[in-house]
Structure 1
Amino acid sequence: MILHDLIDYDTLRVIWWLLLGVLLIGFAVMDGFDLGTATLLPFVAKDDVERRVVINTVGPVWEGNQVWLILGGGAIFAAWPPLYAVSFSGFYLAMFAILFALILRPVGFKYRSKRDSARWRSGWDWALFIGGFVPALILGVAVGNVLQGVPFQFTPELRIVYEGSTLFELLNPFALLCGLLSVAMLVMHGASWVLLKTDGAVAERTRRYGSMAALATIVLFALGGLWLSAGIEGYRITSEVATGGPSNPLAKTVEQGAGIWLANYATHPWMAIAPILGFAGAAGALLFQRLRWEVTALLASSASVFGIVATVGVSMFPFILPSSIDPVSSLTVWDASSSHLTLFIMLFVTAIFVPLIVAYTSWVYAVLWGKVDEKAIRDDSGHAY
């Protein structure tokens, strides 16, 4: 028996669908509080020292957190090549905007304190805000467009043709709602982190904004679910599914209809755990932030992020990128993956390196545990951001 035959092809495809979800959720949870903290920066800190306090809550860890974004992009490239080709080329302008915003983060962290000028530092503080707000918004907008379907199709030769035109066509009402949900969710999560790492006036302001963000998350998540059930057409495979066959997106038939994205919850009721976590986690973050239970608030906001991101995945399964102009071309778990051997080798490598990343990250957070206060910032100007 060939080694990779130890795991069936269809099983490997589901495993990699789950792993992709884990990596994307890992990015949303770990790098998400960095983005949320940067978005909060101009509002919860009123002077230079307070801003440095907020910046130093994420300054030592944001680079490690961004590893999850790299892992997610790498997994899409290697495990789901058609998905990578369509999303990274079709959403090129949106990806470029995210990349530009993310580039502002390291530059802002490194350069804001290079000059003792209020205007200079204020400019970099707003650059850090852009580096947090813009990715949070655009990633949510992208998810909203994925749920509605993306304008691409495959030719009979399996050549991808993307028929979208501009970045602005992505800014439709439902996608903007998803973008606002993403911002609210990550601001809530970032506020939970800042509350854990600070005290005093910064923490009090953060508590107010975090509570508002948690309430907005609940409301926007509910509105998104209602809109999805009533106004957004979902996709369903109507032909026989060759779960272990070669990847060929055109070897199926697909129908569209209102409410289909919610059909999985009737077929597999356990999937309702995802949206329940989304609501319960946000409600818990709201409560625990007000009660000043800082660690519990961060765990609750993490659970909410997990649930909201997972809700998208389980609602769409087995679809991973539907096509709005040719439903048959939609990419699914069963027809968009790499080969059996490639998925097996990647699984073996992932089983070795992801635990190492988790272990190292845990060690870093243990070493950096504790609050950042103004006295530490003033006394350690040579090392603090």
Structure 2
Amino acid sequence: LGITNKMEIRRHVLRLLKEVSLKREHMDRYPHEFSGGQKQRIIIARALACNPELIVLDEPTSALDVSVQAQILNLLIDLQEQYGYGFLFITHNLSVVNHIADRVAVMYLGKFVEIGETNQIFLNPTHPYTQALLKSHSEIDPFNQHVKYVLEGEVPSPIAPPPGCAFNPRCVSDARTPECELDVPHKIKIAEGHYIWCVNPPVGSTTQILSEQHLSQPTELKIEKISEVSEDKNNYIPSIISITGLIFIMIGIIPFILPVFLMSLLIGGFIGLIMAFLLPIIPLLFQGIVIYAIYKSIKNKSYSRIWVMRENVPFRRAVINTSIINLIFVLLIIGMSDLFTWHSLFTWYGVLLILGPIITIVAGFIFQEYPSDIPT
């Protein structure tokens, strides 16, 4: 992605951790402190780091417990639905294939033997090897027993494969003929999107042997995205980086407002009243934007976009300093209220001025999600 700024890299890493359901504290742990499922999530996050269109997963669930396998598969499905990633799964686990795949390619000795939609492969396996593969497991349902395919012999060496069809020494199909030992398997169309590579078309099926032009072209396995990336309208809130900048500006404005406000008290009259009424509105506007952003984040359940004071030191200091300055502001107003007749107005403004930072601090400690958009 060409990211070189350390703060940008940190934000990118934190976003990836959130995508795979890991927390901020996981970033500082050593590899031996992670479970198998967490390690797999980290590997997925690494694959997502460069915003790929296609991700190749080689046995992603083979060393995991069944419950953890389900969690990883659900995570991958969620990522695909949200961002439209294409996945190329390499696995021997047929249940995983049936659960997650849109299209399936069955290989034997490094070559495709059958390709089709998942339902086509599992409900209508056509190639003898695919049939044997799907019927090699025991059926739990006693009323749905099937005849097992027993493949004899050993898998030939990929360095010196047998002539003709590589599967012919172990094929138990009735369609097996002497030509299988001599001819290269043809690509045969069984149905739309469903193909097998076999010397003899299956008995009882309507097939179409493709032309030599098709045979000379490499087989393409099209990985289609489940959904296109769409704009997430629910996650829109005002720019947090901009709001953080406004808070820093507010810190610089309030000390300037304070002496001007005191001067307005000394001036008195209509001009002093206008100055006393308008000047406190400036920090109120900034704090109102902060509160509005927190409200939108809570409403849209974008909790990770709410600031956390204990994690983000500059922001924490900014809000606390603002609160202290506003507190001093309120105390000065209350202390002078005995000398002037506007004490009720000043007191209410003082309460409003300090209300914003308090709400911000409380919200930050309640929603302990690390902010992904604020520089640290």
Same fold per superposition (TM over 0.5): no
Structure ranking higher in helix proportion: 1
With normalisation by structure 2, the TM-score equals 0.22
Q: Which has the larger radius of gyration?
A: 2
Which has the higher relative contact order, 1 or 2, with Cα contacts under 8 A spaced 6 or more apart?
1
With normalisation by structure 1, the TM-score equals 0.22
